[in-house]
């Protein structure tokens, strides 16, 4: 018999939908320059590396802000915290579109957008914890992940197409900024902090204070292991997406091909994030799916490294996305479970922090670039590090079931 003190509300899907929308738009703004690195460098009269820096700024800014933003989320609630990020995103998204050919102003606006990002990303597990039962949470986090991936995919695929249609780079950025402002308004007016009654018993919802939770999380050995896995996985993902156009340019592929590659990789991730986490939820198993995803990502990364035909390149990109990206929501839920009673915003913030530390990896990829422009050594290093991550996962254990 259902306990009347606990229930889930249909409105949880509205809250989740507007939260997904703002996560989608911030990712479009993050990756919008990557598939047109060469043309953008010519437009602004800068180097490929400086265009790549526009994506790397998001990771660099995230590092000092992650823990303070997690404190804001856990202290004042996600509605206030994410609302701050949404406003910043809307304002700086529009301003970046109005920057024209002034690259310095573009960089400043990008810093503003980067400040907004952790307010959204660090709440990925907080929103499901407030509104969803524990059986649905990995699925809900998976849907947020899916929305973020769709944002990257749209930024990858649409940007070259819009540019080929004759739209200028500033106009494209203004269009993305307008979408961001609209999503911010929807979130502020439609999102709610929590339902009238909790979705689960207190033991599955209540968390420690942020500082106590932080200290506790850092004593959990499997959590450290997952942070390492996240660092490697996000390093591969961020490296490929940041340098996507320059990775395939030496093999004769175009910016449009780069956009298609990125979109297919993200499409694979979207499908995987929708399909795989529900199995993990039903079986209450996390580790086996993490291991499966990392192992099966390796051959597709190798395929992407050496592909000289569009078919092999695009199929490899899809397979890489399906297996590598889709395990992220499972890992986040796994971390939330093994670090109890650490607040979701804190554990999620530490995970996102590990992921954004991969900016080091992105920079190393550029350093390993061969004189002919090839990224082959960096991509093979990535495959090797994924194998190491798989070994680390074999040392992890599923959390004990909570009753």
Q: pLDDT band for position 20 (50/70/90)?
A: very high
Closest CA to 240 of 154, 362, 358: 362
Q: Is the dihedral of CA 214, 218, 219, 223 positive or negative?
A: positive
Separation between Cα atoms, residue 281 and residue 330, nearest integer Å:
9
Two tokens, residue 65? 């802000």
CA distances from 79 to 6, 128, 197 (A): 21, 13, 17
Query: Rounded to whole angstroms, how far apart are CA atoms 163 and 400?
Result: 52
Q: How confident is the model at residue 196 (pLDDT cuts 50, 70, 90)?
A: low
| 81 vs 128: which has the higher pLDDT | 81
Cα(30)–Cα(41) distance, rounded to whole angstroms? 16
| Residue whose structure tokens are 């999503």 | 183
| CA gap 90, 223 in Å, rounded | 34
Every domain of the chain and the residues it spans: 12-393
SS3 3: coil
Q: Looking at residues 16-29, what average pLDDT do you find? A: 94
Percent over 70 (pLDDT), the chain: 91
Please write the tens of the pLDDT for every residue from 260-307. Answer: 998 899 888 888 877 888 888 787 788 899 999 999 999 999 999 999
**In 244-375, where does DSSP find H-type helix?**
244-248, 255-283, 287-306, 310-324, 328-338, 344-356, 359-367
Handedness of CA 314, 320, 326, 328 (dihedral sign): negative
Q: Where are the alpha helices (DSSP H) in 32-100?
A: 37-44, 48-76, 78-97
355 pLDDT higher than 70 = yes
User: Rounded to two decimals, what is the model's pTM?
Assistant: 0.76
Euclidean distance between CA atoms 368 and 305, whole angstroms: 14
- Going by pLDDT thresholds of 50, 70 and 90, the confidence category of residue 376 is very high
Six-digit token string for 401: 């079931």
Question: What fold, for 12-393?
Answer: Growth Hormone; Chain: A; (1.20.1250)
pLDDT at 149: 78
The half-sphere exposure of 99 on its side-chain side, counting CA atoms within 13 A, is 23
> For 39-66, what is the mean pLDDT?
90
Cβ neighbours, 10 Å, residue 220: 16
User: Model confidence at 330, in pLDDT bands (50, 70, 90)?
Assistant: confident
Helix, strand or coil, per DSSP, at residue 179? helix
Mean of pLDDT over the chain? 86
Measured between alpha carbons, how far is 95 from 112 in angstroms, rounded to an integer?
A: 10
DSSP label at 82? H
Confidence of residue 401 (pLDDT cuts 50, 70, 90): low
Q: From CA 268, how far away is CA 245, in angstroms rounded?
A: 19
Where does the pLDDT of residue 63 fall: very low under 50, low under 70, confident under 90, or very high at 90 and above?
confident
pLDDT of res. 97: 93
Nearest 5°: CA angle at 289, between 283 and 293?
155
Q: What is the CA radius of gyration of the chain?
A: 20
């Amino acid at each position: 018999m259902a306990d009347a003190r606990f229930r889930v509300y249909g409105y949880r899907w509205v809250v989740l939908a507007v939260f997904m929308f703002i996560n989608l738009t911030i990712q479009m703004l993050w990756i919008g320059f990557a598939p047109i690195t060469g043309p953008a460098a010519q437009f602004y009269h800068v180097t490929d590396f400086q265009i790549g820096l526009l994506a790397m700024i998001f990771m660099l800014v995230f590092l000092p802000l992650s823990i303070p933003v997690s404190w804001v989320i856990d202290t004042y609630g996600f509605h206030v915290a994410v609302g701050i990020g949404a406003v910043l995103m809307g304002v700086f998204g529009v301003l970046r579109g109005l920057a024209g050919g002034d690259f310095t102003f573009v960089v400043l606006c990008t810093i503003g957008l980067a400040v907004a990002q952790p307010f959204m990303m660090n709440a990925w597990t907080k929103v499901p914890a407030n509104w969803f039962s524990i059986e649905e949470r990995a699925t809900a986090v998976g849907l947020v992940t899916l929305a973020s991936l769709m944002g990257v995919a749209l930024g990858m695929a649409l940007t070259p197409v819009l540019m080929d249609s004759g739209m200028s780079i500033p106009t494209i950025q203004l269009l993305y900024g307008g979408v961001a402002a609209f999503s911010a308004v929807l979130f502020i007016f439609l999102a709610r902090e929590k339902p009238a009654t909790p979705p689960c018993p207190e033991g599955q919802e209540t968390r420690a204070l942020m500082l106590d939770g932080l200290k506790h999380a850092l004593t959990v050995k499997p959590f450290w292991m997952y942070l390492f896995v996240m660092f490697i996985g996000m390093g591969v993902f961020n490296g490929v997406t940041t340098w996507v156009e320059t990775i395939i340019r030496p093999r004769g592929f175009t910016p449009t091909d780069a956009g298609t590659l990125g979109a297919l990789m993200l499409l694979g991730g979207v499908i995987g994030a929708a399909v795989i986490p529900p199995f993990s939820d039903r079986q209450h198993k996390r580790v086996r799916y993490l291991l499966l995803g990392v192992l099966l990502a390796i051959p597709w990364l190798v395929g992407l490294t050496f592909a000289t035909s569009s078919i092999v390149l695009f199929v490899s990109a899809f397979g890489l996305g399906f297996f590598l990206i889709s395990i992220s929501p499972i890992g986040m839920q796994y971390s939330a479970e093994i670090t109890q009673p650490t607040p979701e915003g804190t554990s999620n913030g530490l995970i996102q922090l590990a992921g954004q530390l991969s900016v080091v990896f992105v920079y190393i990829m550029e350093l390993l670039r061969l004189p002919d422009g090839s990224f082959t050594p960096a991509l093979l290093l990535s495959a090797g590090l994924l194998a190491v991550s798989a070994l680390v996962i074999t040392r992890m254990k599923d959390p004990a079931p909570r009753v």
